[in-house]
Amino acid sequence: MGIKDLLTRSLDFLPFSRRYGGMSLITLTFPDGAQRQYDAGTTAAAVAQSIAPSLAKKAVAANFNGSDVDLDLPLLADGTLSIITRDSDAALPLIRHDAAHVMAEAVQKIFPGTQVTIGPSIENGFYYDFYREQPFTTDDLAAIEAEMKKIVERGASFTREVWSRKDAINFFKAKGEHFKVELIENLPGDEDIRIYKQGEWLDLCRGPHMPTTKHLGTAFKLMSVAGAYWRGDHTKAQLQRIYGTAWREQKELDAYLDMLKEAEARDHRKLGKELELFHQQEEAVGNVFWHPKGWVIWQQLENFIRGRLRQHGYHEVRTPQLIDRKLWEESGHWEKFGANMFTVTDSDKRELAIKPMNCPAHVQIFKQGIKSYRDLPLRLAEFGCCHRNEPSGALHGIMRVRAFTQDDAHIFCTPEQVTDEALKYCQLQFDVYRDLGFDKIGVKLSLRPDVRAGTDETWDKAENGLREALRLAKIEFTELPGEGAFYGPKVEFQLTDAIGRTWQCGTLQLDFVLPERLDATYIGEDGAKHRPVMLHRALLGSMERFIGILIEHYAGRFPLWLAPVQIVVATITEGASGYAQEVVKELRAAGLRAELDIRNEKINYKIREHSLQKIPIIAVIGAKEAEDKTLALRRLGSDAQEIVTFRDAIAVFQVEAKVPE
């Protein structure tokens, strides 16, 4: 295929303002705002060379008008251009994508006859799904990894070709790659069939890729094998998915593997069992059995949030679990989520759904009686128990369940109140997260998708309102074009935990659709009916999931106010039992969660046992402490011992155990 054909094909997926041949120059705008003109058809590699040879040497791809492209792709239009170097964060998805291709080649080299299906880069790594009757083993992963390093060392160039649909189908049929044939047959008729080669091996791929396999480097590792279904459909072929991780350099890989080890030690399922917080079992798939200690954490967290809601003018409500299908149809949820709803039929033969979310029910409360603009904003909150029929393969401890409770709230306000309400919410959100021990909080503003409800004017007002709120709150944020909900833009809050993982938790979403669908109105100053704006917001999201995050963030070492058992009073001698019982009684009277250990065991054994249970404070009492009315205090994680009077200890504990306000 000649350059003319390549240029013509490139027009199908590059944005452009003028075609090659119509005008010989294009204007490129760089990240610093500078502009330069180049001949149409210039590649990003040539642009990098023109800026600085050192930049060209480090370049692995480019971003043109918001899309990553190969360095050798001809640029045919005006646009924004940034060069991606291998040491940049933007290179990580490319490294992982290349790693997937290199892994697929290695698998087919070692295990001829294996079919490759789909292999994307994902967060922190990559995977590829293979069809092979014999299962892969751990030893196989080591062999594949070794072959991958040979492929990297050969340094074959990644080259892009565009094939006809017929040629691509015939090629993969001849190879016995039936899954690839199906993929091609299901592509839109006008879509390019792009092929990427690395030496003699090739695959169907949209790209882009780095210049050669050598650019991948060797900071990768194959992690595991899991089952998968073709196209995620359990009625289709069973595949084997090999997961891997890839990084820019070895120290990043080592740090990631260390983090995984730490994450395994912090796994909420493991700690939940060891600390007797909860359990799950097959008779209630996707549900949680909360034990006394775990339920203490739940209650403390719920009361903490409830206190904040009172301070911020929320009214707590409670809505039904079973609601007639008609309401879900009116709200639009039945069409979108009906397959994931649990339903029952009542004695009158009506089909009822166990609610998967609370918002339509809150609109029903808003609609009771006539609302005036003077009643707004109205903030309705609920710790609402919801059920969703999640696929069994998606369930994960208490992080992903079928029955969960949302700390949900909906704010009904006028369009003019949106910015102020969003600002107040953002301030509340940050305060709550910091009090829960999360200092690093990322914020993203998701903007209008291509398919959406409402006018552009309405979306402009909504997006600008959220932007203004974030700016007034002095919150740094990034924008995600096209990622908003169907009914409105949303602000997403991401937490970074103690070992560097990020968790998507709180959200603030603007909704113009549901008030319209369910006919919610208020009387404005002009005496006419108006639609309220509905803000959906959740501070924690799912209570279950957030508790799982807290368990892993703290590794079970909860701050004193959240700890299920705050203090254990342990005796050294039998003669100190009377005083120990008196101490526990007084601690409990002071509102502290204290337990007594007067077993006939050595004190070192008791201390070790309670330390493994992550008890924050152990108060040791021997004959001297009993005589002096003192306590020998040991804090979790410290070998130091502090002698304090009993009364002083209670005063200190009460301050430390106070729920944040």
pLDDT of residue 653: 94
Residue 454 predicted with pLDDT over 80:
no
Q: Rounded to two decimals, what is the model's pTM? A: 0.83
Lowest mean pLDDT among 209-223, 250-264, 505-519, 619-633: 505-519
Residue 6 predicted with pLDDT over 70:
no
Bridge partners, residue 387, by sequence: 403
Burial 339-360 (b: 16+ CB within 10 A, else e): eebeeeeeeeeeebbbbbbbbb
Bridge partners, residue 131, by sequence: 115
pLDDT of residue 19: 42
Averaged pLDDT for residues 509-523: 92
What is the overall mean pLDDT for the chain?
Answer: 92
Alpha carbons 161 and 193: distance in angstroms, whole number: 8
- State yes or no: cis peptide before 208, omega within 30 of 0: yes
φ/ψ (deg, to 5) at 218: -120, 15
Closest CA to 14 of 51, 48, 41: 41
pLDDT band at 13 (very low <50, low <70, confident <90, very high): very low
Asked if residue 55 lies in contact with residue 83, where contact means CB atoms within 8 angstroms, the answer is yes
* 536 annotated active-site: yes
* 388 annotated active-site: yes
Asked if residue 244 lies in contact with residue 120, where contact means CB atoms within 8 angstroms, the answer is no
Alpha carbons 645 and 583: distance in angstroms, whole number: 11
3-state secondary structure of 615: coil
Asked if residue 59 lies in contact with residue 71, where contact means CB atoms within 8 angstroms, the answer is yes
- Give the tens place of pLDDT for each residue, 397-422: 999 999 999 999 999 999 999 989 99
pLDDT of residue 232: 81
Alpha carbons 241 and 406: distance in angstroms, whole number: 33
pLDDT of residue 485: 81
Residue 114 predicted with pLDDT over 80:
yes
Residue 27 predicted with pLDDT over 50:
yes
Q: Which two tokens stand for residue 564?
A: 């299920």
Averaged pLDDT for residues 308-327: 96
φ/ψ (deg, to 5) at 130: -120, 150
**Cα atoms found within 13 Å of the Cα of residue 7, Cβ hemisphere only:** 15
Alpha carbons 42 and 45: distance in angstroms, whole number: 8
Q: Which two tokens stand for residue 551?
A: 């368990």
Residue 307 predicted with pLDDT over 50:
yes
The catalytically annotated residue of 388, 402, 448, 614 is 388
Q: Which two tokens stand for residue 38?
A: 């180049």
**What is the DSSP pairing of strand 351-354 with strand 322-324?**
antiparallel
* 654 annotated active-site: no
Where residue 38 falls (left for φ over 0; alpha for ψ -120 to 50; beta otherwise) is: beta
The catalytically annotated residue of 371, 490, 530, 610 is 490
High-pLDDT (> 90) share of the chain, %: 82
The catalytically annotated residue of 108, 115, 300, 406 is 406
* Between residues 456 and 102, the one the model is more confident about: 102
pLDDT of residue 451: 77
* 72 annotated active-site: no
Alpha carbons 94 and 101: distance in angstroms, whole number: 11
Closest CA to 220 of 165, 289, 151: 151
- Give the tens place of pLDDT for each residue, 500-514: 999 999 999 988 889
Q: Work out the number of other CB atoms within 10 angstroms of the CB of residue 393.
A: 12
Asked if residue 568 lies in contact with residue 587, where contact means CB atoms within 8 angstroms, the answer is no
Residue 433 predicted with pLDDT over 80:
yes
Residue 190 predicted with pLDDT over 80:
no
pLDDT of residue 447: 92
Closest CA to 95 of 213, 178, 176, 216: 216
pLDDT of residue 397: 95
- Give the tens place of pLDDT for each residue, 115-155: 999 989 998 999 999 999 999 998 899 999 999 999 999 99
Q: What is the 3-state secondary structure (H, E, C) of 346-370?
A: CCCCCEEEECCCCHHHHHHHHCCCC
Alpha carbons 332 and 334: distance in angstroms, whole number: 6
pLDDT band at 23 (very low <50, low <70, confident <90, very high): low
Averaged pLDDT for residues 299-317: 96
* Between residues 337 and 252, the one the model is more confident about: 252
- Give the tens place of pLDDT for each residue, 563-607: 999 999 999 999 999 999 999 999 999 999 999 999 999 999 999
The catalytically annotated residue of 86, 362, 379, 536 is 536
The catalytically annotated residue of 407, 408, 497, 511 is 408
Averaged pLDDT for residues 535-548: 96
Closest CA to 136 of 17, 68, 228, 212: 228
CA 607 to chain centre: 38
* 581 annotated active-site: no
